[in-house]
Each structure stands twice: as C-alpha cells, then as structure tokens.
Amino acid sequence: MLSRIAVIDYDMGNLHSACKGLDRAGAKPQITDQAADIERADAVVLPGVGAFDPAMQHLRARDLEAPIRDAVASGKPFLGICVGMQILCDRSEEGHESGLGIIPGVVRRFRSEPGLTIPHMGWNQLDFAQPDLPLWWQLGSQPYVYFVHSFYVEPSDPSLQAATVTHGSQTVTAAIARENLMAVQFHPEKSSQAGLQILANFVQQVAARYDHPATASRRAAALA
C-alpha cells in the first residue's frame, strides 16, 4: 500500500513540485488544508516559500496550527521545507508573528559582510551534523543541494542540527532533526538527484514505520 502523505496547503509554496518528487519516490501525496486529512495521513510535509509573517498568518487563517502540532506529537514522520522549517521555531527576525514553537529557537538573518550575497541562492554543500540520520542515506559526503534564503534557523539546542551549510564566513543550520521531526532549509524538490534521494529516504522511513505490525494495526483501524 502506498504511503499517504499530506502536503499542507497554506498558499506559501510550490506544492506540485514537492508532490512530484514524493510521487516519484513511491508515495501518494495529497495536497490539503483540512485537519482530518492531516490526521489520517501516514506522514506530513510542510513546504513553504516567502516570508515568515505571511506564512504564520495563512496558517492561522486556516486553523492549521493545532493540526500541525498534533501531527508532530503523534510520532508520524514530519518534514518541513524552507519556510516550512522556519515557522516551526518560536519567532523570526524577519517579522513580528510568533511561530509554531515546536522547535525552540529563533530564525536569524545572515550578517552582512564584504562580498557576501544575500539571499544565499544556488547550489551549496551540506555538512552532516547527524551523519547517521536516515534522511541522508545514499547521499555520500557533502552533497550539493539548492538554497534560496536570507534567514536561517538557530535552534536553542545545537544538537538538533542535522546538517549545516557555509555561506561566506557564516556556518548556519541547513537541517534539523528530532525523533520523527525533520526539516530542511534547502529545496529537495529543486536539488536534482540528491534532492530526489532525500525525498525517497523520507518515503522509505514512512513505509518502514507502517511495516511494523503494531503500527500497521493502528493504521488499519484509523482507515476503517
């Protein structure tokens, strides 16, 4: 059975590119802004492009804060992408809205320095801080992925960093991971083979979770 992955729609992302990557990885993505769909899904993807404040305003307008927090708390695999990673934090230097507060931390702006281009845009290499994370399987050392951002996540607990990236003299968070929660600052759907492998690894984690007999039984009951 294909894994059902809810891709949250809050008017802040290129949802179809993410869905295409998930579909190629063998999942069944569903674009939705409905709490019931998020609850029934085997996993959740929270994409996003744009600014922090509009993202949070759109989420609140659609009453999606509680469903997102519940999805993370449920233990099902959860993947945030770009702004979908940033809004998991407490707040951002970009605006005034409070974030979801799921990951304690602040979203910071890159410091200006001579020769540094902001936004950080284009291909750059990941340095793995959690090299054994299943999301990184079969990627090799320091893979190139595609970034477009002027702000980055600074978690209160540095051990949550799953990968970093260096732009100019600044080394910042490129990914975070904690139990079932994973999030990346770059765009896997724009990152060629490395990005497709990351999405495939996420889908594989979802499938492995539901291959467990006890979890499969709970899933069947939820779908009945």
9-18, 45-54, 76-85: lowest mean pLDDT where?
9-18
Dihedral sign, Cα of residue 122, residue 100, residue 41, residue 208: positive
- The reply to whether 39 belongs to the active site is no
State the pLDDT at residue 74. 97
- The reply to whether 189 belongs to the active site is yes
Per cent of the chain over pLDDT 90 is: 84
18-27, 90-99, 134-143: lowest mean pLDDT where?
18-27
| Residue 44 predicted with pLDDT over 70 | yes
Tell me the H-state helices in 9-99. 15-24, 35-40, 52-61, 65-74, 83-86
- The reply to whether 187 belongs to the active site is yes
State the pLDDT at residue 219. 43
Tell me the H-state helices in 41-161. 52-61, 65-74, 83-86
State the pLDDT at residue 211. 72
Residue type, 169: S
Tell me the range of 13-17, 22-26, 151-155 where mean pLDDT is highest: 151-155
Coil, helix or strand at residue 84: helix
| Residue 201 predicted with pLDDT over 70 | yes
Q: Which residue has the tokens 């779908």?
A: 223
| Residue 224 predicted with pLDDT over 50 | no
Give the pLDDT mean for 73-80: 97
Residue type, 23: D
State the pLDDT at residue 1. 61
Catalytic residue among 120, 149, 167, 187: 187
Binned at pLDDT 50, 70 and 90, residue 21 comes out as confident
Catalytic residue among 58, 82, 89, 149: 82
State the pLDDT at residue 223. 39
CATH code where residue 158 lies: 3.40.50.880
| Residue 96 predicted with pLDDT over 80 | yes
Domain coverage including residue 173:
3-223
Residue type, 217: S
Q: For all residues of the chain together, what is the average pLDDT? A: 92
The number of distinct structural domains making up the chain is: 1
The residues, ordered by sequence, that sit 6+ positions from 110 with a Cβ below 8 Å of its Cβ are 116, 118, 120, 150, 151, 152, 167, 168, 170, 172
Separation CA 152–CA 97 (nearest Å):
16
State the pLDDT at residue 215. 44
pTM: 0.92
Binned at pLDDT 50, 70 and 90, residue 214 comes out as very low
| Residue 172 predicted with pLDDT over 60 | yes
